Amino acid sequence: MADGHVNLEALAEAGLAGQVVGQDMEAWLRQLRPALTAFLRRKLQDPADLHDALQETSLRAWTYASRCEVRAPVSVCFRIAEHVAIDFARAHMRAPPAGPQDEVDLLATDEPGPERSASATQTLELVKRVIGGLPPGCRHVFLLSRSNGLSNPEIARRCGVSVKLVEKQISRALRELREQSKEWEGGTP
């Protein structure tokens, strides 16, 4: 076996040629394991994949032999091993490279810390209080705009008012929120 190629004559001389039916594949795989190991070691990009590739090769060969008669077990095993190596190479191409940066990424998270989360909760409560303190018409128009995502003409039609009044109500609500946020930043909520 040189450069990933199998010398079939040498295997035949060693008694590794013939037909396989069902359970005989297990014996063939045991006999071929050293040759398959060497073959896969040359074919695989990552040496850590060797054991898994051997397992996958054995599983596929055994499954194949259980479905039909194998006339050339050596060829079948090495062909399966070659396909397994190709599958592993494809998997490595799809997977992002692992490295120290991945460990840093695992530590870094988009989740806010407890302090930031508490601050956001407090700010949300203050915003709710300001919106709740708006006159009912102003509050309704503002919530239709910001919560429901309706446009000013849609809000005007829904409420039976002019677009200009909708614009004024939204401006008033935003002005109240802006004024309150200045107070919050100053420390007097």
Range of the structural domain that residue 143 is part of:
115-186
The amino acid present at 177, given as its one-letter code, is L
CATH of the domain at 64: 1.10.1740
Is position 167 within any domain? yes
Establish if 85 belongs to a structural domain: yes
Instruction: For residue 52, count other CB atoms closer than 10 A to its CB.
Output: 14
Task: Please indicate, yes or no, whether residues 121 and 170 belong to a single structural domain of this protein.
Answer: yes
Structure tokens, 75 = 């060829």
* pTM metric for this prediction: 0.43
Say yes or no: 74 and 121 in one domain: no
Cα(119)–Cα(172) distance, integer angstroms:
25
For the record, the structure tokens of 61 come out as: 């060969």
**Could you report the per-residue pLDDT of 84-143, keeping only the tens digit for each?**
999 998 888 887 655 555 555 656 666 667 777 787 788 888 888 888 888 999 999 998
